[in-house]
Amino acid sequence: MTALRLEQLRKDFGGVVALAGIDLEVERGEIVAVVGDNGAGKSTLIKLISGVHRPSGGTIYVDGEPHRFHDPIAARAAGVEVVYQDLALVDHQPVYMNLFLGRELTTRFGRLDRKRMAQETQQLVDELDIRIPSAQVRISALSGGQRQGIAISRATHWARSLILLDEPTAALGVAETLKVEEMIARLRTRGLAIVVVSHNLDQVFRLADRIVVMRRGTHVATCRCAEVDRNEVVAMITGLQGRKAIA
Amino acid sequence: MQADPSSSPLAGRSPQLAAGQGDRRPSLTQRLRAIEPDRYAVYLGFVAIFLFFSITLRNDGFTSGRNLLNILEATAPITVMAVATAFVLGAGEVDFSIGAIVALSSLVAALVLRETDAAILGIAAGLGTGAAVGLLNGTMVTRLRLPSFLVTLGTMGLFTGLSQRVTNLESVPSVNETFNDLFGSGEVLGVSTLIIWSLVIVAVGHYVLRHRRVGAHVLASGDNAAAAQVSGVRVGRVRTGVLVASGLSASFAGLMYTANLHGASYSLGTTDLLTVVAAVVIGGTRLLGGRSTVVGALVGSLILGVVNNGLILSGFSTSEQQIAQGVIILVAVALTLREPAR
Amino acid sequence: MPAKRPLALTAFLAVLLALVLSACGGGGSSTGASEESPAEKTVTKTEGPNGEKPVQVSSLSLSPEEEEKLKEGDYKVALVWAANAPFTEAVQSGVEEELGNLGVEITSSSHAEFNTSKEASDLKAALAKSPDVVISAPVDPSTAATMYDEVRKAGAELVFLSTVPEGYEPGKQYVGIVTDDLYTMGAMAAEALAESVGEEGEIGMINYNIPYYVTNQRDAAFASTIRKKYPKMEIVAESGFTDPTKVQEVAQGMIAQHPNLAGIYASWAEPAEQVLAALRAAKNSTTKVVTLDLNDTVVTDMIKEGQVAAIVVDKAFEIGTGLARVAAYSLVGKTAPAFSVVGSITVTPENVEEAYEESLHKSAPSTVLEALG
């Protein structure tokens, strides 16, 4: 069963077509990158899958079930987790409270179970090999790469089907970018489908199994990374070449 | 769960995996630094000010039991409002209308007491007024999407005016003994009910802020509302909730004032807004949201009370008192308002 | 280093604080202000803001010819008050009755709710009906001259309740003032307190610390009377306040430092409420309190607990009568006294009901009646 299937998914805003009908399937354990220039419709696509926008047409299937997400919470409930570009982390709270933000664990009497949350967080962080001083430190004490790691850990902890990452390394330096990429690569083994939006083609070729190319709201092509080279992808993004075979 | 080394070109451990980083339990120095000693400046400050007055005013009655109780009784209504204000600021909001709510609630309570002579009805009416104004504030903030400082400035004016009209500036006596004893003049084991109420409310407020989900949601909403929203926190409900709590606390303070003075008046609470905010901020709560401390609010309130009391006992004229108070507040705020470096 | 800065800063500011406090040179047992306090002045009589001698309202009268002239004259008067309060209501009732008897029409009345700009627009609205006289109480005397000049330009005469715009002189910009007899009120308070403490003992005063001639005079009158008439009584403590809602702590300080006070004087009833609360907190039921101006809470306490020796109140209704008569004088071209005063009543549990009648021409409120039993 495919983790994610999009069937003719489209979105209009008034008279403007932000996303023309797109078909896509993503399997568990594979990484699909979404590329395209500004205005290509990448973020609209992410927002539709994550429940921020409602589709104007088409269907989203998660694990075979059709869905019409009316808000991000509904998408979460279906097993979809998102790592937003601004990370959606709360600075003054410790790492473990961020991990459980909105889903805090409580004891029998409704009291926050900080101990258990901290333990589970520490475990997860160790598993994913994220280097932070402890699960108790505040987010504000972490570097950009560490924060990115926490945001990804959070999504990993809760996701049952799919993780969406929106420009995960856009604000990071070279060394941190590589570390985060390592982390994303390891997510495959957890049996989740992974969709990454990126404008960094080198990264895409390092990380992804397949590439979805968008241009001006249209789905141009989907290719296997192994079967296509950089220049072809650039050409598709900029529109200097017509459609290629969908893989 | 080891990653398959052949699947990623980045396989291989990064050089950071040295012995120190692999040790997961944080070291003592790390934990000490995490406590952020800056935040405890307010407690030190309180001890320092208290000692200062204890020594300089040792022959003027500062340290007498009666005087210390006076300080606790005088600061009680402010403390009650400061607890709620810690939540309000924590959620990234502000409530300018608390002074007006004190006045209006006290009059409503006293009028109901006068008509029915039933303490329970007077209490319900007073608290109900505070909750209703809080709900009005909250609804305008969440439904009309107006910033709380605008909304509460408006309601402050509205309800200040209403308080003046309700009884045409007449004060309303409060003669119901049950009510007066319960909220002000009574004692339990020699301790005024004012003090007991304030400590109970501090305890409850601290517990909720620190140990309940709703407390975590309040702070998340004030820190990064967008992050909280997408994580499932109902930010709108949080905002309304803290404003209702603020209204309730102000009406509670109104009941305390009324029971203590045996009468309600339109002028009660008019100067309290600044005192409450100063107490909360001195106590370490962040003005912009995301970090609050109820215990800090209590200590801030006590600092202000001790300073006020000490200056009165020192024999300064009112203008000298005001100058000194201003200086002390500036000092205290400067010390505690600094964000911990990093 | 983040940890070191707050320490250095604290030390510096603590030193600064200590310097400020010692420079203020306070301390010791004197709780007085450094300026001459109202209690230290000696007054012997009521005086107008410019030193005018007071005239009793009861001595104002009109001859039958003057009354005829008024009835035929179709004159108009506007009332512009500073705020709506039981006191103002009583004054207005007095004005209405007197002008009604004289056949003068009241064209409008308004309350400025302590708001200067509202008062300015109220005055303009009043002028629209072309009144011959405007009877008014300025919200803020120090800035009021400009807006009242407008009234004079429109040709109306001015009669004032209690306070007058700064710079105004009687006979020039306004006809006259009517107010309570300030000296007498303070003196009556002293007499009432003296009687209740057996004319001996230590006295404390809690005064309004802002230059406002009404309270200043009454406070000074109280102090002067104690000093002159009661040699066995002594004012040992005097504290000032500027916020009438924050008096309890001031009172507590005084009580703590002078536990044997026979009596305490409070500038008016609102801070007196706080003094009573302070006495309750200190479990002191012996010190007597005396104050001025009718206030239901203090009256109720006086009846029920007996700790208030007396409350001295002015005859508000009669002030209204006086304002109307001064206005009438100016309408018939008679020279009015610059400064007129009314009598006062010492209210004790025995005469509460009559006091409400005489002062406000109203019956006492239900809580007071219930307390009387």
Q: Is residue B340 a contact partner of residue C2, using CB atoms and an 8 Å limit?
A: yes
Q: CA of B17: which chain A residue's CA is closest?
A: A131
- Yes or no: say if C265 and C312 are a contact pair by the CB < 8 Å rule: no
- Quick check: B102 contacting C, CB < 8 Å? no
**Residue A180 contacts residue A149 (beta carbons within 8 Å):** yes
pLDDT at res. C49: 78
CB < 8 Å to A185, chain B? 3, 7-8, 10
pLDDT tens by residue, C116-172: 888 999 999 999 999 999 999 998 888 889 899 999 999 999 999 988 898 999 989
Best mutation target among A104, A158, A204 (most B Cβ atoms within 10 Å) is A104
Please state whether at least 3 CB pairs lie below 8 Å between chains B and A. Answer: yes
Tell which wins on pLDDT, B90 or A174. Answer: B90
> Range with the lowest mean pLDDT among A57-71, B239-253, B319-333?
B319-333
Residue B121: pLDDT over 80? yes
For chain B, the average pLDDT equals 87
**Measured distance CA(B269)–CA(B267) in Å, rounded:** 6
From the list A91, A137, A188, which residue is nearest B224 (CB)? A91
DSSP lists the bridge partners of residue A67 as: A60
Q: Where are the beta strands (DSSP E) in chain C?
A: 55-56, 76-81, 105-111, 133-136, 157-161, 176-180, 201-208, 233-241, 261-266, 288-292, 308-314, 339-342, 344-347
Q: What is the DSSP letter of A94?
A: B
Q: CB of B63 within 8 Å of any CB in chain C?
A: no
Q: Is the dihedral of CA C80, C84, C87, C89 positive or negative?
A: positive
Q: What is the mean pLDDT of chain C?
A: 86
Contact between chains at B230 and A88 (C-beta distance less than 8 A):
yes
Q: What is the ipTM of this complex?
A: 0.87
Using the structure block, give the residue that is written with the tokens 């005239």. Answer: C55
Assign C7 a pLDDT band (cuts: 50, 70, 90). low
Q: Is A229 exposed, middle or buried (0-12, 13-18, 19+ CB in 10 A)?
A: exposed
Contact C298, C272 (CB under 8 A): yes
Residue C174 DSSP class: B
CATH topology of domain B39-337: ABC transporter involved in vitamin B12 uptake, BtuC (1.10.3470)
Residues in CB range of C172: below 8 A, 6 or more apart = none
Q: Which residues contact B143 (CB under 8 A, 6 or more apart)?
A: none
Residues of chain C with CATH 3.40.50.2300: 38-42+182-306, 55-180+316-343
How far apart are the C-alpha atoms of B285 and B297, rounded to whole Å?
7
What residues does B188 pair with on adjacent strands?
Answer: B191
Beta bridge partners of A219: A214
Residue of B4, B6, B7, B10 to mutate, testing the A interface (most A Cβ within 10 Å of its Cβ): B10
Separation CA C295–CA C168 (nearest Å): 32
Please answer whether residues C40 and C223 qualify as being in contact, where contact means their C-beta atoms are separated by less than 8 angstroms. Answer: yes
User: Which of A113, A186, A194, A205 would best serve as a mutation to test chain B binding (most B beta carbons within 10 A)?
Assistant: A186
What percentage of chain A reaches a pLDDT higher than 70?
A: 97
How many percent of chain C have pLDDT more than 70?
A: 88
- Structural tokens at position C18: 């200590």
- For the stretch A60-98, pLDDT in tens is 999 999 998 888 889 999 999 999 888 899 999 999 999
Q: Do B315 and C296 touch (CB under 8 A)?
A: no
**CA-based nearest distance B296→chain A, Å:** 17
Place of tokens 């489209």: A10
**Pick from A111-115, A218-222, B150-154, C40-44: least confident:** C40-44
CATH fold of C38-42+182-306, please?
Rossmann fold (3.40.50)
Residue of B nearest to A127 (CA): B1
A206 to chain B: which residues are within 8 Å by CB? 9-10
Give the closest-approach CA distance of B70 to chain A in angstroms. 35
- pLDDT greater at residue A15 or residue C22: A15
pLDDT single digits (tens) A128-169: 888 899 999 999 999 988 999 999 999 999 999 999 999 999
Domain C55-180+316-343 has CATH 1.10.10.10: no
The whole-angstrom separation of Cα A100 and Cα B138 is 27
Q: Please return the burial class of B326, using the count of CB atoms within 10 Å of its CB with bins 0-12, 13-18 and 19+.
A: exposed
**pLDDT higher than 60, residue C213:** yes
* Six token digits for residue B295: 């215990």
Q: What average pLDDT does range B219-230 have in this prediction?
A: 95
The answer to whether A and C touch (≥3 CB pairs < 8 Å) is no
Q: Is the pLDDT of residue B217 over 90?
A: yes
Name the minimum distance, in Å, from the CA of B56 to any CA of chain C: 9
Higher pLDDT, A13 or B11: A13
- Kindly report the backbone phi and psi dihedral angles of residue B191, in degrees, each rounded to the nearest multiple of 5, phi listed first: -110, 130
Q: Which of C19, C24, C298 to mutate to test the interface with B (most CBs of B within 10 A)?
A: C24
Q: Does B316 touch chain C (CB under 8 A)?
A: yes
Contact: C20, B327; criterion CB under 8 Å: yes
Q: Which CA distances in Å does B138 have to B80, B240, B250, B269?
A: 20, 4, 15, 21
**What tokens appear for B110 in the block?**
């006293």
- By three-state DSSP, how is residue C179 classified? strand
CA of residue B38 relative to chain centroid, distance: 20
Residues 6+ apart with CB under 8 A from A12: A18, A56
Instruction: Compare B266 and B38 and report the one with higher pLDDT.
Output: B266
> For chain B, what are the domain ranges?
39-337
Contacts 24+ apart (CB under 8 A), B112-120: B113/B174, B113/B175, B113/B176, B113/B179, B114/B172, B114/B173, B114/C366, B114/C367, B117/B176, B118/B176, B119/B176, B119/B178, B119/B179, B119/B182
Residue A86 is given by DSSP the state T
- Which of C182, C291, C227, C196 has the alpha carbon at shortest distance from C41? C227
Q: How many angstroms away from the CA of A101 is the closest CA of chain B?
A: 6
Q: Between the CA of residue A237 and those of A209, B75, C264, what are the distances in Å?
A: 18, 67, 89
Cβ–Cβ under 8 Å, residues A137 and A79: no
Q: How confident is the model at residue A239, as a pLDDT? A: 79
- Predicted pLDDT of residue A218: 86
Query: How crowded is residue A15: how many other Cβ atoms within 10 Å of its Cβ?
Result: 5
> Locate tokens 């473990």: which residue?
A96
Angle at Cα B76 formed by Cα B70 and Cα B79, nearest 5°?
135
Selecting from B26, B34, B216 the residue whose C-beta is nearest the C-beta of A112 gives B216
Question: Given B34, B213, B216, which is nearest A136 (Cβ)?
Answer: B34
A4-88+143-238 CATH, one of 3.40.50.970, 3.40.309.10, 3.40.50.300, 3.10.440.10: 3.40.50.300
Which amino acid makes up residue B306? V
B263, B318, B331 ranked by CB distance to C13: nearest: B331
- Residue B27's pLDDT is 65
A154 vs B185 pLDDT, higher one: A154
Residue A101's contacts (CB-CB under 8 Å, 6 or more residues apart) are: A90, A93, A154, B216, B220, B227, B228, B231, B232, B233
At residue B26 the predicted structure's pLDDT band, cuts being 50, 70 and 90, is low
**Taking each helix axis from N to C terminus, what angle separates B318-337 and B294-314, rounded to the nearest 10 degrees?**
150
Give the integer Cα–Cα distance in Å for C183 and C223. 11
pTM of the model: 0.85
> Closest Cα of chain B to A110: distance in Å?
7
Tell me the C-alpha distance between C344 and C262, whole Å.
24
Q: What SS3 state is found at A242?
A: coil
Residue B193 and residue B256 in contact, taking contact as beta carbons nearer than 8 Å = no
Is the confidence at residue B33, as pLDDT, over 60? no
Q: What subunits make at least 3 CB pairs under 8 angstroms with C?
A: B
Q: Report the DSSP beta bridge partners of residue C310.
A: C290
Joined together, the tokens standing for residue C372 give 């009387």
Q: Which run of H or E residues covers position B134?
A: helix B119-143
- The tens digit of pLDDT for each residue in C88-114 reads 889 999 999 999 999 999 999 998 877
How buried is residue C343: exposed, middle or buried, by Cβ count under 10 Å (0-12/13-18/19+)?
middle
| DSSP helix/strand/coil, C300 | helix
Count other C-beta atoms under 10 Å from residue B299's C-beta: 22
**In this structure, is the dihedral angle defined by the CA atoms of residues C140, C141, C142 and C147, taken in order, positive or negative?**
positive
Beta strands (DSSP E) in B6-89 are none
